[in-house]
Amino acid sequence: MTELAYLSDLPSAYVREFRARVTALPPGALVLDRTYFYPTGGGQPADRGVLRFEGGRPLEVTDVTKSGPAVLHRVRGAAPELRRLEVGAEVEGAIDWDRRHRHMRLHTAQHYASARIFARSGLRTRRANLAGAGATIDLEGPLPAELLAPLEDDLRDVVARPQPVSIRMVPRAEWDAHPAAGRSGLVPLPPQVDPVRVVEIDASDVCPCGGTHVRSTGEIGQLRWLPLVPLSSGASRVAFTLVDSAPTTPSA
């Protein structure tokens, strides 16, 4: 089992380097007792980075995935190096911070955009996806094109007048009765999830999420919105990209 150390609170999303122990060595991968590497999930791509250990060359992490309760850190072409490692060995992880911070900015922007879309149109988000410097939000129906400009204004405002972001663990029964459960209600939570990890953007949005987020909407930076994409179902896809994909980033 791997402890998902990035999950515990919002500051944990800013940890870029950490120590952990190897608990298993499946072919081409390492399982650690704890990790700050984000494994693919919830529309957020996996982190990249390196794992270092005494007596070997740094291992380049090429993918991170969940496998039951374990997290697999796949490494590039490192079979000979991996043979130097043993279960119980200590490794140092270093996360590719530019990539991770882009995902954090996009993820918080996506939550806020989904909340504003719901507030302005009643449309819920069916699926959200982050990739590279951009994000897409697939809605449950067609978004009137004239709403795009006010939505852009909403996002510009929340960057110019930042709102704090926080993470809370909420008992399941309390969450199910929460009025904010409506906006995210299209994506059912598995019944065993209790408590629910909710990401809160000040008074603007509350949404269950296992992803990593920035601590203030001011950190999102400038976004460029793309034209609405009509999906074959008749619903709309909203898309935006970060204008400055390599901003100055706050330290942990």
For Zn ion, which is the closer residue by CB, 36 or 112?
112
Q: Is 113 in the site for Zn ion (CB under 5 A)?
A: no
Q: Binding to Zn ion by residue 10, rule CB under 5 A?
A: no
Q: Cα(158)–Cα(153) distance, rounded to whole angstroms?
A: 9
Task: Output 73 or 103, the one with its CB closest to Zn ion.
Answer: 103
* 49 touches Zn ion by CB under 5 A: no
38 contacts 64 by C-beta, under 8 angstroms? yes
Q: Which amino acid is at 222?
A: Q
Nearer to Zn ion (CB atom), residue 39 or residue 211: 211
**Separation between Cα atoms, residue 32 and residue 73, nearest integer Å:** 8
- The binder of Zn ion chosen from 106, 115, 211, 238 (CB under 5 A): 211
- Cα–Cα nearest to 151, from 174, 192, 119, 181: 119
Point out which span in 56-64, 81-89, 180-188, 201-209 binds Zn ion (CB under 5 A).
Answer: 201-209
Of the candidate spans 90-98, 186-194, 209-217, 232-240, the one that interacts with Zn ion by CB under 5 A turns out to be 209-217
209 forms part of the interface with Zn ion (CB under 5 A): yes
Query: Which span (55-63, 65-73, 131-139, 211-219) binds Zn ion, by CB under 5 A?
Result: 211-219
Q: Does 208 bind Zn ion (CB under 5 A)?
A: no
Q: Cβ closer to Zn ion: 64 or 198? A: 198
Q: 31 near 100, Cβ under 8 Å?
A: no
Least CB distance from residue 199 to Zn ion, whole Å? Answer: 6
Q: Compute how many residues bind Zn ion; rule: CB under 5 A.
A: 2
**Which tokens hold the place of 229?**
């994409």
In whole angstroms, what is the distance from residue 231 CA to residue 134 CA?
18
Q: How far is the CB of 60 from Zn ion (least distance, A)?
A: 27
Report the nearest approach of Zn ion to the CB of residue 128 (Å): 7
Q: Does 72 bind Zn ion (CB under 5 A)?
A: no
Stretch that binds Zn ion, among 6-14, 75-83, 113-121, 206-214 (CB under 5 A): 206-214
Angle at 98 between CA 96 and CA 99, to 5 degrees: 70
> Minimum Å distance from CB 195 to Zn ion?
16
In 10 A of CB 177, how many CB atoms? Answer: 9
Residue with tokens 């507030």: 119
Q: Which is nearer to Zn ion, 91 or 209 (CB)?
A: 209
The angle formed by the CA atoms of residues 105, 147 and 115, to the nearest 5 degrees, is 45
Q: Would you say the C-alpha torsion 185, 192, 169, 97 has a positive or negative sign?
A: negative
> How buried is residue 238: exposed, middle or buried, by Cβ count under 10 Å (0-12/13-18/19+)?
buried
Q: What are the residues binding Zn ion (CB under 5 A)?
A: 209, 211
